[in-house]
Amino acid sequence: MERERVVITGMGVISPVGSGLSAFWDGLTSGHSAVGPITRFDVSQFSTRIAAEVHDFDPLRYLEKKEVRHMDRFVQLAIGAAQEAYNDAGLVEIDPARAGVAVGTGIGGMETLTEQHETLLTKGASRVSPYFIPKMIGNIAGGQLAIRFNFQGPNVTLVTACASSGSALGDAFRAIQYGEADIMLAGGAEAVLLPISFAGFCAMKAMSTRNDDPHHASRPFDRDRDGFVMGEGAGFLVLESLSFAQNRRARIYAELVGYGRSADAYHVVEPHPEGRGAIQSMYRALADAGLDPHEVDYINAHGTSTMKGDLAETLAIKNVFGDHAYQLAVSSTKSSTGHLLGAAGAVEMIASVMAIMRQQVPPTVNLDHASPDCDLNYVPNRPQNRRVRVVMSNAFGFGGQNASLIAREYIP
């Protein structure tokens, strides 16, 4: 069976460095980080008191007041980014049965869960909202998007921790390749900047404690990195079969050509020390795309700013790409955005596609002294202008679940 070619025709993003494609790209290439002191809650009892918050999102741009009250913040962010992608693609007169949705979220409606649990404890069971469950469940963003756009085709929600929206893009890619849909709205959203989330990650000692210097806290591949910085946001892409996009004369940003997935099968939170799962996901993405390693120009790394994670990914890249690893540009945009957890894969895929569009690689900010065992071209602090034809985006999650995606410059 000949597989459909899949192209990217629309993108929308809401992120700590800026919302909308232009603001997002300007934020990524500015050389600055969006990390700052937490403003949402009292942080005095936590070892980490910083995060990458989204400050420029107004849900009333996309929703009525009543709708906002009935949706968790992660759903609001999803709708905002998805609406931007839908508008960007210029979609009209779609057969609803041939259009679907794929969403990734690592945690879902935790804000609603914590609020309603507090209500239960302080006011009793009768005061728990009837909207509690349909606001909180992880698949509700996908459900709300299908209702909003009348997309009646495949509708899936994937939870693979920080690989979730990368996995969602891969699933949407496959749905189009094998003829289940002509269009898929795919991406992810996360909004868990909450006391309970911070308590858990602080207990794990997973996050940076550079509280007095938040703008320099997220520093992937740097020798002084001390943990990730939590962020929030959403990113969505419109994927279409090439034939459908051509028939409606859509603008095409890039072609999605490869998807690889794997499991470390090693540890619940730590990566395999030699990057075993990352190696497999990258090899599988290359094989799926029919590309040789030397054809890749840029890797948007998972690069969370943890000691073990950054080293394991570096080792994996060297294993897969050999000598070409030193010719690649490799950067982590989490240095600017913080770690958007389940939304990271989609937001970083958008950054990767924009690198093709702009022929420029966004930097790894705060990379002042590269760790001795991280010796690739991580694009320190400033963007690099270079020929970018083929990009890979990596997304790896707790539980050892991995997703690698490859896009390339569209060639008719």
H/E element, 402: strand 401-408
Is residue 169 within 8 Å of residue 261, measured between CB atoms? no
- Indicate which residues carry an active-site annotation: 162, 302, 339
Q: Where are the alpha helices (DSSP H) in 218-301?
A: 242-247, 276-289
Q: Quick check: helix, strand or coil at residue 235?
A: strand
Q: Could you tell me which residues come within 8 angstroms of residue 362 by beta carbon, excluding any fewer than 6 positions away? A: 25, 28, 29, 331, 333, 336, 351, 354, 355, 379, 383
Q: How many Cβ atoms sit within 10 Å of the Cβ of residue 205? A: 11
Q: What is the CA radius of gyration of the chain?
A: 20
- Identify the residue whose tokens are 């030397």: 294
Burial of 265: CB neighbours in 10 Å, binned 0-12, 13-18, 19+: exposed
Give the CB-side neighbour count of residue 313, counting CA atoms within 13 A: 27
SS3 content of the chain, % helix, strand, coil (to 5): 40, 20, 40
The DSSP secondary structure of 164-196, one letter per residue, reads HHHHHHHHHHHHHHTTS-SEEEEEEEE---SHH
CA end-to-end span of the chain = 21
Q: How many whole angstroms separate alpha carbon 106 and alpha carbon 94?
A: 30
